[in-house]
Amino acid sequence: MSNSHANWLRRAAEEIAKVGHYGWGNTCEGAAEHIDALEAELAALRIENDALRDELQKVRRAAISGMDAATQHGRGLVQQAAKLRAESNPDALESERAMNAALTEQLERAEAAAAGLRANAERYRELRRLATAWPQTVLVVNINIGHDWRTADAPEEIDSVVDAAIDATLTQEDHND
């Protein structure tokens, strides 16, 4: 690879040699060869520089991608921390404890009421069983509904008398609340 300086030196050396100054011409030729060597080295360095620049671009893109991923992950961690902080907030925890206590109390009342209803249902089933077990047996059920006594002396009347008693009791409980 020759550039214009090396070529100029070679031409100058030829001109000097024509006029008989061989020593100086040889020096120019040596300088031209040195310039050619430097140009070759410079070309190799440019190729290496381009390769390093390409590699640097790849590393830069990878670093940017990594930083973007880290930033995104960091945002997720910040959101998770905010959520955990909100969940562990003493006021929120106390509010949840109070709500849990109220719900537990309601559940206990409902379970107690269900136990009472199961007992009443069992008594009602026993009445029906007795009323239908022996057709020749007469079973008389008297229920006081307010100031009104209802009597069931046949199996088919038991349901209506018991239903009326239940309705009356529920109505009275609603008025007492």
- pLDDT band for position 1 (50/70/90)? very low
Type of residue numbered 170: L
- Integer CA distances (angstroms), 45 to 3, 38, 40, 41, 50, in order: 16, 10, 9, 6, 8
Looking at the whole model, is its pTM more than 0.85? no
- Residue 148's SS3 state is strand
Per residue in 135-176, pLDDT tens?
Answer: 555 555 666 666 666 666 666 676 777 777 777 777 776 676
What Rg, from alpha-carbon coordinates, does the chain have?
A: 54
Tell me the two tokens of residue 139. Answer: 């079973």
